[in-house]
A and B are shown apart, each in its own frame.
Chain A
Amino acid sequence: MTLSIHTPTLLLSRELPSLKYTSTPDRFDETWEAPLSTLLGLGRAAGADFIEFFLERVNYISCLAEEDTITSISPRLSTGAGVRVFKGQADCYVSTNDLSFSGLKAALEKGLSIMGLQLPAPSSFIPEINLELLRDYATKKGKDAWLGQTSSMREMGDVLLNANALLNKKASHVQSRRATYFRDWQEVLVAASDGTFARDIRLAQSVGYNLLCADGAQRSSIAKRAGDTSSPDFLRSWNYEQAAEEVAESAGRMLYADYVESGTYPIVMANEFGGVIFHEACGHLLETTQIERKTTPFADKKGEKIAHESLTAWDEGLSTKAFGTIDMDDEGMPAQRTLLIEKGVLKNFLADRAGSLRTGHPRTGSGRRQNYTFAAASRMRNTYIAPGDYTNEDLFASIDKGIYCKKMGGGSVGATGQFNFAVEEAYLIEGGKVTKPLKGATLIGEAKEIMNKISMCSQDLALAAGFCGSVSGSIYTTVGQPHIKVDSITVGGR
């Protein structure tokens, strides 16, 4: 057998300025393999332990209908990239609008210098970074044509005007009504020095109503939104008649509601957006981001009981037609289903790459970011409490005097584990029955305590679209749960 010795021609640092690449910012495809591989090799030659490039193109448009007029159509086009450089467990992140080879190289150089590293000398060899064959979720799942298939500006306007007109018919004492829609199309490309090379297209759409009703000094304002990431036809299939009926009914009931009397109550929390309780009171505290900051009481509780045995909860990126669904996270890892809590026992944390590196918890495909100006961090996707064995009737029957939180507003959790959320639509529970409407309620409590007070879960799990803000910006998520009972919680009011 004769071996032919092939002397490879290794790339020298001084050759970089003369390299020509065919990649363009207009499309992320295999042509980016060569320049990104070169840049990754350059970074490794400089002494970085790990490097990741995140490239992004965004085509966003929003549309606003107020009363019977389209008052705003706002297109936004954006292109950008971020490079993350790790040395040991420390890292830095540099972002730029310049996606040319020299622009990305300049960003890399800045990142390296922040980490105390320098580009290699002109005579240095640049190691080859072998990227995997492009893992292209966009093409594989037929998403390449999505942008052209979404609703046109005219169609957006027509749907929103029709929807707003219908809302006017359904509601009474209308002071102002708005219908809003946005479509956020995003193409991303991730390349990393461990060989990750993945592309995806995301299409997040959301549509909804804002209704303000007034009758003398009485006022009510109700908002309702739907969101989807699975189909260009989302706006066309929006059931705005049902949405208008729900919004009108809620606003009408709340118009003459009394202010809630503050105190400590047992509560029943509705499904869908009621899931914000788990999202704020527990979900954030199971992100490795919080372990790193030492702001979660659950850091050393894996395998221990942290919640009532009635409670099982998941976070995943796989559900169809859910707002937090992704094919891959923003670090190129395929989406997963993660069991967070099983019958009260903490099973897993949500980890991104850096979180896994620093805490030892395995990555869960949870590295997410708002856009290229942020480094990814461990974030939620579709997060929900699993259905239980009780019926809704069981829940209400178990309460003599309490509050039914039918619609939740947003909430937050602080560094000490204290959470809060607003209740948009509430009712008194008296003798197991839902009675008069109440407004102005805020729920507060401690995360460690509240999870042990969710004692009953019904069977009607339903999800709702939401927006979550944290260290890596605002992202699209889903919250959800069946109807649940919380044995006692502090309700702030008047």
Chain B
Amino acid sequence: MTNIENIATHAREIAGQLGINKFDIYGATVDESSVQVDGGEPKQVKASSRSSVTVRVWNEEQTMGVTSTTDVDPKGLELALKTAYEASFFGVKENVPDFSPEATAPLAADIPNEKAPQVPVAQLLETLIGAEKELLSAHPAIKGVPYNGLSQRDTDRFYLNSAGALRNESRSYTSLYLYTKAEEEGKKPRSAGAFRISRSLEQLDLEGCLKEAADKTISHLNYEKVKSGKYTVVFSAEAFLSLLGAFSNIFNAQNILDKQSLSTPESLGAQIASPLLSVCDDALHPANVGAETFDGEGTPTSRVSLIEDGILTGFLHSAGTAKRMGAEPTGHGNMGAKVTVGSHFYHVFPGKPAEKEYSLASADNLIFIDDLHALHAGVKALQGSFSLPFDGWMVSNGKLTSIDSATVAGDFLEVLKSIVFVEKEAELTPGGVCPRIWVEGLSITGE
């Protein structure tokens, strides 16, 4: 019997003994190892094997309580069920969470539960040491790679409930990040980096990551201050997706119901962005290495249209928000005492064709933002405003000059409406797939 089947069997037995008739469990096991290096030597090597489950229990009054635990043996499950039962008497009496009606529906995609074999830690170290060495030799100004990491992870996750639903899946992925520090006499230190993710070490685009980190670092060595003012800004894929993620309350049905969103339930159908923009959340996108076929409530995931030609077309739902808003669950629920909603994998692409196409090669007097920083502090998600430091370049007649410390500020809903071009070629990032996005009229503070 598999471990998940063991857990299901023990949970049913214990629940029966405790008089609990209705429960569900979401759980995950993670097995991972990661390495960091410094100056050709191992710096930090970590390995971890851990499990956790979240248990929900409904009592005789039909209110619900939850407990999470790392102890998945029968004793731990018993304590979790008991604690969840105790908490259930303090649960909400309105809009009580329930099993997802889709918890036993067929999955939208049949992604095999394959895990890539984990390579020995020594091989991870050898690979990363080699990458560091190659980066250091890319340019004499590159003095170090202070932030680096290569990790591999196997994840097993499952969902089951007392009505007979049982789902499980397994995934592997390997990720690499490299952030350099460059110093030249009489100049400020500069930094740049790159990130890659794949299903295994064998498939990892190591060379691409090295080249990106090196090229970006070298491009930032010669920098100038930028004059404060309003500019057309080109956001890289990563920068735009980080901003989209920071303001994801726009699509989040739970935030909307809680009145903690820039949208309302009546916002569907409104023109919230330029017609040039379309956005989907696509958990099953072929480029999504960590694709999940079901959410924390067992609902199958799928591709969900959020913005189509600038019009807000959909929200991300859990089973509970879908019921309250008269919609279908979309597979974005995360189990908890209060079920939360979260995105999986954004796919940003052109909507209506642009009247005029733009190119950085011929652009003049604009700012190309590669990376936004301090999103945890500089974003007012409930007000729509942001003021963020960034890494980027001034573009003059197609020539890129690195900018010495500046911030970009604006209103996100205004940003969406001020998009003047969505490039065709998309780039893969950890948060999704997105092309460069051109936006006019943003405030830049430099000198």
Contacts and interface: CB of A to CB of B under 8 A. Distances in A.
Contact of A74 (B189, B337, B385, B409): B337
A78 B147 CA distance: 30
Interface string B377-391: 110101111011100
A442 interface: yes
Nearest to A424: B380
A411 B383 contact: no
Interface in B379-421: 380, 382-385, 387-389, 405-410
Contact of B389 (A212, A295, A420): A420
A373 interface: yes
A442 B65 contact: no
Which of B91, B181, B377, B383 has the largest number of chain A CB atoms within 10 A?
A: B377
Given A90-B42, A375-B44, A494 B409 contact: yes
Interface in A165-179: 175-176
B71 A97 contact: yes
A415 B46 contact: no
A415 B191 contact: yes
Interface stretch (A62-70, A193-201, A332-340, A456-464): A62-70
B392 to A, nearest CB: 14
B79 interface: yes
B94 A69 contact: yes
A20 interface: no
B1 interface: no
A415 B382 contact: no
A262 B407 contact: yes
Contacts of A70: 90, 92
A292 B50 contact: no
Contact of B407 (A74, A293, A414, A442): A442
B124 to A, nearest CB: 10
B194 to A, nearest CB: 14
B175 interface: no
Nearest to B147: A415
B68 A74 contact: yes
A79 B388 CA distance: 39
B170 interface: no
Interface in A63-100: 64, 66, 69-80, 90-98
A459 B5 CA distance: 64
B89 to A, nearest CB: 8
Interface residues on A, range: 35 or more
A421 interface: yes
A417 interface: yes
A71 B92 contact: yes
A111 interface: yes
Contact of A75 (B48, B67, B190): B67
Interface in A143-164: 153-154, 157
A410 B376 contact: yes
A492 interface: yes
Interface string B75-92: 010011001101100111
Contacts of A292: 38, 43
B338 interface: yes
A391 interface: no
A412 interface: yes
A127 interface: no
B407 to A, nearest CB: 3
B259 A212 contact: yes
B220 to A, nearest CB: 10
Contacts of B336: 72, 74
A262 B378 CA distance: 14
A493 interface: yes
Contacts of A271: none
A422 B377 contact: yes
Contacts of A446: 188, 405
Contact of A78 (B70, B228, B406, B409): B70
A294 B44 contact: no
A440 interface: yes
A31 interface: no
B427 interface: no
A224 interface: no
A110 interface: yes
A220 B380 CA distance: 9
A308 B91 CA distance: 54
B146 A412 contact: no
A439 interface: yes
B66 interface: yes
Interface residues on B, range: 35 or more
A343 interface: no
B143 interface: yes
Contact of A293 (B38, B70, B92): B38
A80 B50 contact: yes
B189 A97 contact: no
A367 to B, nearest CB: 14
B378 A420 contact: yes
A305 B53 CA distance: 52
B246 interface: no
A492 B407 contact: yes
Contacts of B259: 175-176, 212
B47 A110 contact: yes
B168 interface: no
A269 to B, nearest CB: 15
Contacts of A442: 374, 377-378, 387-389, 407, 409
B445 interface: yes
A418 interface: yes
Which of B147, B190, B228, B378 has the largest number of chain A CB atoms within 10 A?
A: B378
A431 interface: no
B91 A440 contact: no
A262 B146 contact: no
A408 B90 CA distance: 35
A403 interface: no
Nearest to B125: A114
Nearest to A157: B90
Contact of A414 (B70, B338, B373, B445): B373
A494 B410 contact: yes
A76 B67 contact: yes
A70 B188 CA distance: 51
Contact of A421 (B46, B48, B377, B383): B377
Interface string B182-202: 000000111100000000000
A493 B38 contact: no
A176 B45 contact: no
B110 interface: no
A253 interface: no
28 contacts: A69-B92, A71-B338, A72-B337, A75-B84, A77-B69, A77-B71, A77-B76, A79-B71, A80-B50, A95-B49, A97-B50, A97-B70, A98-B49, A114-B45, A157-B90, A221-B382, A262-B409, A375-B44, A410-B377, A412-B374, A412-B377, A414-B191, A420-B389, A442-B388, A491-B445, A492-B388, A492-B389, A492-B408
Given A73-B65, A92-B42, A259-B385, 11 more contacts: A79-B71, A92-B47, A93-B46, A97-B49, A292-B38, A295-B146, A409-B378, A415-B191, A416-B191, A417-B189, A491-B445
Query: Can you list the 7 inter-chain pairs with the closest CB atoms, starting with the nearest?
Result: A492-B407, A262-B445, A72-B338, A92-B45, A410-B377, A422-B377, A442-B387
Interface of B: 38, 41-52, 65-71, 76, 79-80, 83-84, 86-87, 90-92, 94, 121, 143-144, 146-147, 179, 181, 188-191, 228, 258-260, 336-338, 373-374, 376-378, 380, 382-385, 387-389, 405-410, 443, 445
